[in-house]
Amino acid sequence: MMNGLYRLNAAAIVFNSQGKVLVFGRNDIENQWQFPQGGIEPNETPEVAARRELKEETNIQSVRLVAIMPQPLRYDFPPQVLEKFKKLGRTNIGQEQYWFLFYFEGSENEIDFTTNPDEIEFKAYKWIEIDEAPNLVVDFKKEVYQQVVKFMKPKIDIFLQKQKCHD
């Protein structure tokens, strides 16, 4: 779905009881890591899209919604990406992303990149401190990732503090 020249997109950050977040190694670009993300379909809410993309790309479903970024964030594609998309018939100049933070309640054996063999987006995953994420992502997404980290990091800390109080 498009919002003017920006493709509407939903992104999911998944964290565990140690406060670490999951990042995924892209299948198509060496040494590029990111959070799961994807386009929002017509008649789909951003949260539904984030959950769908998370399941399609990683098979993760055992999550609890913890926080939502209050406004979407935009980034523009660099010329080489624009050129690639133009050949595919896509006209958007960037993405407008809605961000969601989820607590992972499953086990790691739930993670599976091969559930959709036609479109394997990732080839690896690792648990990291959320502060590291902007350093691992492709350059044109760094600024958005920095904003997301600034907003979501305290949400992770607050959630885990509350969990400790209930244990």
**Widest pairwise Cα distance in the chain:** 54
Instruction: State the pTM of this model.
Output: 0.92
pLDDT of res. 128: 97
Q: Which residue range forms the structural domain that includes residue 79? A: 2-166
Q: Give pLDDT tens digits for 54-95.
A: 999 999 999 999 999 999 999 999 998 888 888 888 888 999
Those residues whose C-beta lies under 8 Å from the C-beta of residue 126, and which sit 6 or more positions away, are: 22, 23, 25, 33
Domains: count for the chain: 1
pLDDT for res 53: 94
CATH of the domain at 146: 3.90.79.10
